[in-house]
Structure 1
């Protein structure tokens, strides 16, 4: 481990902003941990259904405030993408070539998970599995791919949106929410926010790449203003307190994104900017920096296969012959939470096995020997 940390340290470019990589690793970690903690596969009468502890225990909503890190990912994604495009142009690489390389890196690993679960779904149905169970499992694995579709779309239009001030997509989100909730308009209007909502932190990231909107005063304004706006919308405007979707809830802050979750994301972006200096000091330690590098080199594999890891552990647990607490039981009491925390290391081991099997699709046929 020391030798690996030394190699990573010596091959890292001197100008690399390690804090940005750390923020991306934290964002992916938040997504994975969030899904593992707020998603339960309940075995009921031989079928499997998806449940959430946030439905029966709404007082756990503050957990979602910590683990809802999508805004952080789009912030870092906007910064890295805008910076990467500028660097490519400086080297004489055209937009088309840059975009093809970028999309290949993003989409290559997706093919494996889509094909595998397509085969698994067909086999389960052929063996007599209930359609409800198959749909629940496939949806659990494939539904997070919405994020990649949005990210790919924003990546493709980076030259058009890189100079866009975040206030404009924020205004679109506010108007769409007013049309849905204030005016009583159709629900489909809210899906405009799937692009506009995540465009807000993406534009902040692009501005960060241009050394704009990144001062400490702006960061404090984002943190305080975003937190105050999110709190006001939850307390007085009827928005849910949970920043992730809750099955059966009449309104979701996540699907599609609402003004509340976008405001909360602005607070996260401000906090991320304020955390840069402490992170840079922490990442000067080679061992910690090596861990961040390894996490980033495996980011897509971790994101794509973490739900499969949880499903695999849940399925293997059925061999016990009885429902196991925190794994197959309904998430209706605090005891479930403690039991689920005990399963997290097992999920991590299963994810490591998935990493061993499928990381090659993320790396392609190249050996990654340095931090990129």
Structure 2
């Protein structure tokens, strides 16, 4: 692997995500307080002055970015709408509706909800299925998951009262069904007695996985009817009907830091503070087969599937680590791809002669842990570190 680009954007970055449909825009949480949206030009080089989003009264815990379902568009609408979700310690859940116009991102509106609980949100994720309504989930310090759903709509002309005219619009050709987005219903799912630090949806919306400090990775199956469903608080929840069934609980050696699901939705992976990676294969009968891989380096903050047979993991090693599939849920470290950038403390000969606490100096572009990685394609990975630096890696 080698770095083809590195660039400094912000200092003290705590959350980051890219625009869901292109790589031109990136949203960053700096110092836990404010969200900045940058437009990146010339092959991911920082460009224009950022758009600032500021409404939270405390630290921001997590952000996520998704397209707005097309059912909210008028048929002749050519603009691209998206929604940026932010959650914070003030228990506010803010859905920022954004539009792209003339190579700029503009705020259309913001929809503010509050968690109906005394807990704090830790992680938020949009559903990957862009249906005729918006859906996202939030993991919390109480061990509960909150699933938010907007009202279902069948067409953009469902209700005249739901039409909201966007700014600088005179010909009514740029109308969006924001009225159906103004009210979200909350479904509370009791999962654990301890905080849940990560959450993830499968691409087909059949699985919702989560993990936390209880040392368990939980795999939930989503169905319209289930005879063995979890405890759901469905009070006043009329927009969407479904059940969640716990199909597997993966015991881990330490608290879970991150989780991910493969593009084919049949392989689930967790990682914990002891640098263990837990792979679970789910077949069509919902039976699970698991395998554990021990990483000899430092813990990971995040991991993502590059494709069904490749995973990139990032964290305290300050470099992207590649793992490849041998068969099923059995994986290995791709030493041939990582050999040129591996830190010396992973070499037993070096460890026998040097003290890592005294003699190790990072030889990578990132001097602080990498908090997230984004596979741009099967040969390119974008990494973003706590130091506010992003890097482009080719392998």
Structure with more of its chain in strand, by fraction: 2
Larger fraction in helix: 1
- The higher-RCO structure (CA 8 Å, 6+ apart) is 1
Question: Where on the TM-score scale, by shorter chain, does this alignment land: which range?
Answer: under 0.3
